[in-house]
Amino acid sequence: MNGKRNGPGKPPGPAAPFVSRPSPQAHQTDLVLRRMGFDGQRVGTAPAIQTSSFTGSPAQSPRPNRTAETALARRDWLLSVMERQRSLSTAASALIRCEGITAEQFLEHFYAPSRPCVIAGALADWPALQLWTPEYLRDTVGDAPVEFQGRREAAGDFELAKDRHKQTLPFSAYLDLIEANPGNDAYVTAYNSSANRAAFAPLMRDVRPLPNLLGPGEGMLWVGPAGTFTPLHFDLTNNLLIQITGRKRVLLVPPSQTRLLSHHRHVFSDVHDLEDEACMKRHPLAQQVQPYVVTLEAGDMLFIPVGWWHQVRSLDFSVMMTCINFLWPNNAWQDYPADS
């Protein structure tokens, strides 16, 4: 965030200040951000990771079977340098929490630079924040059939084989199921959103537009008990996570640390869970990762840029909405290299 990017033909102008809730830990970040025209609160920083230096003589010509290996080493070296550079600045390495953000501020400081942030206060006029208890959801959706992801806990590849886990129940029966069996076994996810549009339509009267961030379109609901878990992955779109009921714990890792995460299958990491001790022992490189850790409270929103690794765990009964219908282009998925 050392500079601004302006749209074509649009002269730079002073940005309106964010409304922040400063804390002692965020003081240094606030000083830097105020000089840039807005206030921010640091949620957390990702310390610099340990890296190994790349050595070699420019005069040496790599053997043909080492060309690709050398190219990858140089790429990883460059990404390591980027991490070290970012760690030199609190403002550059902090995860910012902001309020009252305008469309121009969001585009210039977060969306265009692909930098995550937590946005607070934007849902103050959403009736859903007060209404969406399990009882209200049961009364409003009733016995309408809903699709969910079931029998997940016994399958290590439940995210890769989503179609295999599709199940359908009346919504009231689904709520009974997750109340009696909290954990990761049954979860209404964004993958089920198309099938559930009609069932959840009555709930949409309780949400409001976010014109500074989003254009026309519907969000995708996630409904589940404490203990649901989405393993470490990245998305092919920029995502806005809108926490409506309950809390979720999110770990974020920048794309520049991909080399530490055993990325072999589509958008998933073999590491699976950065908080699982046994998993980390199987993947020693991942022990160098220093993630951002964020607890989303009801009313918080988290912007996750395309390509940023993240894992999500519900701490309570939770309802979250994810949106990808931003005001700006969001089509990186179109040229993502497919698995061979």
Question: Is position 299 within any domain?
Answer: yes
Residue 339 lies in a domain: no
Name the 3-class secondary structure at 320: strand
224: in domain: yes
Give residue 310's pLDDT.
97
Whole-angstrom Cα distance, residue 120 to residue 112?
A: 20
Proportion of the chain above pLDDT 70, given as a percent = 81
39 found inside a domain: no
Question: Containing H/E element for 13?
Answer: none
Q: Is the residue at 79 inside a domain? A: no
Domain assignment present for 327: yes
Q: How many CB atoms lie within 10 A of CB 260?
A: 23
Structure tokens at 74: 């140089």
Q: Which domain holds residue 282?
A: 119-331
The CATH number for 173's domain is 2.60.120.650
DSSP annotation of 317 reads: S
Q: Which of 161, 154, 232 is nearest to 191 (CA)?
A: 161
pLDDT of res. 42: 54
Give yes or no for residue 22 having a pLDDT over 80.
Answer: no
Whether residue 57 lies inside any domain: the answer is no
The residue with greater pLDDT, 26 or 255, is: 255
The DSSP secondary structure of 202-249, one letter per residue, reads GGGGG----TTTB-S---EEEEE-TT-EEEEE--SS-EEEEEEES-EE
Q: Is residue 174 part of a domain?
A: yes
Provide the terminal-to-terminal Cα distance of the chain, rounded to the nearest Å. 37
| Number of neighbours of residue 313 by Cβ within 10 angstroms | 19
User: Measured between alpha carbons, how far is 39 from 16 in angstroms, rounded to an integer?
Assistant: 10
Counted domains in the chain:
1
* pLDDT of amino acid 64: 55
Encode pLDDT of 310-331 as tens digits: 999 999 999 999 999 999 999 9
* Helices and strands, counts by H and E, the chain: 9, 16
